[in-house]
Amino acid sequence: MFGQQTFAPLVKDTLIESSMKAHIFELPRHAERLEIGAEIQYYEDTEKTLTFGNITSPAMLSHWKTYQKQTLSFGFKRSQYWLRFALLNPSPQQNDWLIEFAFPSLDSIELYSPQSDGHYGRHQMGDQLPFAKREIHHRTFVTRLNLPDSEPHVYYLRVATASTTIIPITLYRNDEFIAYSNQWQLFYGWLLGALMILIAYHVILFIFTRETSYVFYVVYMCGVLFYTATFNGFTAQYIFPENATLLQYAMIFSIGLAFIGLVLFTRAFLNTPLIAPRFDIVLRLLAAYLLVVSSATLFADYLTVNIIMSSSMLPVVAICYGIAVSVSWRVRSRQHLYFLVGSFWLMLGGCLASLMTIGILPNNTLTRNSVQIGAIIESTLFALALSYRYKVLQEEKKRVQEENFRLIRDANESLKLAVKKRTAELQEKNTDLGAANEEIQRQMEIQTDQAREIELANTTLQEQNEKLNALDHEKNEIIGIVAHDLKNPISAVRGLAELVQSGFAEPEQIPEITNQIVHTADRMLELVRNLLDVNRLESGMVQFRPVEFDIAPMAESTVWQYSQAAKAKRITLHYRLETDVSTVYADEQATMQVLENLISNAIKYSPHGKQVFIRISSNDNYVCLEVKDEGPGLSDEDKSKLFSKFARLSARPTGGEYSTGLGLSIVKKMVVAMNGKVWCESEYGNGATFIVELPSQSS
């Protein structure tokens, strides 16, 4: 956009009078690019009232200052800046020079260039000018220079913006600018494409896994993508080419979206609500602060909001990084290491960008793209962390499936063996009884000589009868449990299935019916599994394979596994690792079953809204696991039969859960088999604390 001015004679006199002071930039004869900044003269118009006529008047000669750095950077100010510089073209036949202002966030740029008739033409640029009205359609601000002779010419520049005032000025030959622009266009194409691929990839992962951390990561990546596009001029070129207002707010909203996503992703990925509740409060307050600052752009002063948001970037990243360091120190894993390294690169990029924004560092390729480069490195490492977490979840799912198949297979085999063994024992006992009866009859014929042998045979027979009675009592106990605890669930499952099969069930009732069937089947499976575990432990079929392993990750995984069950009863789980030595010498599978039994029991018998505390500590020879609940506690009678089979205590599950009375018996047998100790400390009415000690090394 051009306009004619009437100040040509005055400007020419000004150049003559100030030629000994003003620096004249000579365009190179052979090079095709020139960056100018140092030696440019500038004037800060704090009132923003001066016009071109005012600034070129002789009275202003003594007010011009010389800038010493290569890239002009004045930070966040409300002033408008006037610049002037002289250009000399020693090769007039090469008159295809362009001037570029490579900072797309400048609101208004007016370049006053001398014309052949002695007047000045005005080139208007800036992001407040619709993209279609730019002289050259490019993501940065570019216009042509007319240098037809070898005389020095003075150019004036007026810049005003509500963001940071950074004015990188570069002169190009036409061919060089096209090549340079194409190179950077390709670079940003790869950059933005990589960000979009990462976003699409993690959207797909969220669809398959339903993991909330992926949602916040996608929000964060969308913010980074939009910030990169806006900061480098692509939003003005492709998204809001006609709307300067939306373009101005795009930068603030993209930064706010990115950092809100980063804070929420940090909170979900590090699981701070469970592992670090105090840090979780800090992250939630930080997200609320960013939301308020981003929304304030709609009704508050834009420059003030811009300053607040820009100065908040580095502290936000530093807070997230500090929390990540603290959490990773407590729970050490590879995924946390990826998070730490990625956050470091983002913090470094944000630091460089912040220092550039406030004018401490120069505006160059590195500082201008530091946030994008740091975000790409950080996003790649975050993607690796999420992939590793997904791998862990998949392995855990696979392990659970294999365990279920193993339990079913073992259940079938154990039932067959149990029936076969019981049959053989009964046959053997019947044979022994027959032989004993024959012996008694024979001994009775010789009463005098064989009296002692008859008495001994009677004693043996009595002992065998007692064993048979004990076996018969246990058989009746198992039959009673099966008849009582399996008959009703099987009838319930059959009734629900017939309801669905008959078609009388409403479509909206079917999901609830299937949930009830699954819940009932889980109850039956738990009963069978506990019966089999007790049988295998008592028969010596379980082979414990103790190894040295760290119990802390296993405990953390188990706490996470039962967090949903606790959340359903509004029970808060607190996990604390109070030792640097958490390695035990025990069987991993048995240890996992002990952890699951104790934590599930604590949730099962705790009233709604209470708390469960899981703590790991150590002493000289043992690693100690404590599970404390706020349930009804145990009476003296309960304590006397606590670890017995089929024990029925006075306490009852608080959420309608099912209990076989075998869990603590299994825990006791497994812990003792691993050379450990287990006991309970409780006062009636004040909850219970179950304590397990496992050896910290092989003896």
Q: Would you state the pLDDT for residue 160?
A: 93
Tell whether 165 and 227 lie within a shared domain: no
Question: Is 315 within the bounds of a domain?
Answer: yes
Q: Would you state the pLDDT for residue 248?
A: 79
Q: Would you state the pLDDT for residue 471?
A: 55
Tell whether 174 and 218 lie within a shared domain: no
Q: Would you state the pLDDT for residue 6?
A: 37
Q: Would you state the pLDDT for residue 491?
A: 58
**Range among 92-96, 400-404, 612-616 with highest mean pLDDT value:** 612-616
Question: Is 245 within the bounds of a domain?
Answer: yes
Contact 595, 588 (CB under 8 A): no
Tell whether 392 and 403 lie within a shared domain: no
Spell out the long-range contacts of 20-25 with Cβ–Cβ below 8 A and sequence spacing 24 or more.
21/64, 22/64, 22/84, 22/85, 22/86, 22/154, 23/66, 23/85, 23/86, 24/86, 24/87, 24/88, 24/152, 25/85, 25/86, 25/87, 25/88
Residues in the chain: 699
Pick the residue with more confidence: 531 or 609? 609
Residue with tokens 């047998």: 669
Q: Can you name the residues that pair with 577 across neighbouring β-strands?
A: 616
What lies within 8 Å, CB to CB, of 517 at 6+ separation is 493, 496, 497
Q: Give the mean pLDDT of 591-602.
A: 86
Q: Would you state the pLDDT for residue 13?
A: 40
Q: Would you state the pLDDT for residue 499?
A: 61
Q: Which of 212-221, 298-307, 394-403 has the lowest mean pLDDT?
A: 394-403
Question: Is 446 within the bounds of a domain?
Answer: yes
Output the six-digit token pair for 683: 């006062």
Answer whether residue 155 shows pLDDT above 60.
Answer: yes
Q: Would you state the pLDDT for residue 83?
A: 94
Domain residues for 131?
8-178
Answer whether residue 490 shows pLDDT above 80.
Answer: no
Q: Would you state the pLDDT for residue 12?
A: 44
Distance CA 153, CA 8 (A): 11
Output the six-digit token pair for 650: 């006075």
Which helix (DSSP H) or strand (DSSP E) does residue 571 occupy?
Answer: none
Q: Which residues of 338-364 are buried (b: 16+ CB within 10 A; e: fewer)?
A: bbbebbbbbbbbbbbbbebbbbebbbe
pLDDT band at 466 (very low <50, low <70, confident <90, very high): confident
Answer whether residue 428 shows pLDDT above 90.
Answer: no
Question: Is 450 within the bounds of a domain?
Answer: yes
Answer whether residue 339 shows pLDDT above 80.
Answer: no
Whole-Å CA distances, 516 to 151, 507, 510, 626: 91, 15, 10, 33
**Range among 100-104, 440-444, 533-537, 665-669 with highest mean pLDDT value:** 100-104
Tell whether 271 and 368 lie within a shared domain: yes
Pick the residue with more confidence: 121 or 494? 121
Q: Would you state the pLDDT for residue 141?
A: 93
DSSP sequence for 176-219: HHHHHHHHHHHHHHHHHHHHHHHHHHHHHHHHHH--HHHHHHHH
Q: Would you state the pLDDT for residue 412?
A: 77
Output the six-digit token pair for 663: 């869990």
Q: Which of 484-488, 513-517, 534-538 has the lowest mean pLDDT?
A: 484-488
Model pLDDT for residues 437-465, shown as the tens digit of each residue = 777 778 777 766 666 776 776 777 787 77
Answer whether residue 231 shows pLDDT above 90.
Answer: no
Q: Would you state the pLDDT for residue 52?
A: 92
Which of 380, 396, 412 marks a domain boundary? 396
Answer whether residue 242 shows pLDDT above 70.
Answer: yes
Model pLDDT for residues 61-75, shown as the tens digit of each residue = 888 999 887 778 888
Tell whether 485 and 504 lie within a shared domain: yes
Answer whether residue 473 shows pLDDT above 70.
Answer: no
Tell whether 327 and 344 lie within a shared domain: yes
**Range among 70-74, 97-101, 366-370, 538-542 with highest mean pLDDT value:** 97-101
Whole-Å CA distances, 406 to 398, 432, 484, 588: 12, 37, 26, 16
Output the six-digit token pair for 671: 């812990």
Q: Which CATH number goes with the domain that contains 581?
A: 3.30.565.10
Tell whether 388 and 420 lie within a shared domain: no
Model pLDDT for residues 547-593, shown as the tens digit of each residue = 889 988 888 888 888 888 888 889 999 999 888 888 999 888 888 88
DSSP letter assigned to residue 119? -
Which of 539, 560, 591 marks a domain boundary? 539
**Into how many domains does the chain fold?**
4
pLDDT band at 20 (very low <50, low <70, confident <90, very high): very low
Tell whether 586 and 678 lie within a shared domain: yes
Distance CA 252, CA 255 (A): 5
Beta strands in 63-192 (DSSP E): 65-66, 72-75, 80-88, 97-101, 108-114, 120-125, 141-144, 153-160, 165-167, 169-173
Q: Which of 214-228, 528-542, 682-696 has the lowest mean pLDDT?
A: 528-542
Q: Give the mean pLDDT of 102-119.
A: 88
Tell whether 466 and 573 lie within a shared domain: no
Tell whether 162 and 238 lie within a shared domain: no
Tell whether 388 and 475 lie within a shared domain: no
Answer whether residue 353 shows pLDDT above 60.
Answer: yes
DSSP letter assigned to residue 447? T
Which of 489, 521, 539 marks a domain boundary? 539
Residue with tokens 């016009």: 51
Q: Give the mean pLDDT of 303-324.
A: 81
Q: Would you state the pLDDT for residue 92?
A: 86
Model pLDDT for residues 269-306, shown as the tens digit of each residue = 778 888 888 989 999 999 999 999 888 888 888 788 88
Q: Would you state the pLDDT for residue 125?
A: 93
Question: Is 190 within the bounds of a domain?
Answer: no
Tell whether 621 and 495 lie within a shared domain: no
Question: Is 197 within the bounds of a domain?
Answer: no
Question: Is 452 within the bounds of a domain?
Answer: yes
Model pLDDT for residues 627-679, shown as the tens digit of each residue = 999 888 888 777 777 776 666 666 677 766 666 667 787 888 888 888 888 99
Q: Would you state the pLDDT for residue 653?
A: 78
Residue with tokens 């691929």: 197
Mean pLDDT of the chain: 79
Question: Is 196 within the bounds of a domain?
Answer: no
By CB atoms closer than 10 A (0-12, 13-18, 19+), residue 498 is: exposed
Q: Which of 6-20, 189-203, 399-413, 685-699 has the lowest mean pLDDT?
A: 6-20
Distance CA 509, CA 240 (A): 49
Model pLDDT for residues 26-51, shown as the tens digit of each residue = 888 877 788 888 889 999 999 989 99
Answer whether residue 217 shows pLDDT above 70.
Answer: yes
Q: Which CATH number goes with the domain that contains 87?
A: 2.60.40.2380
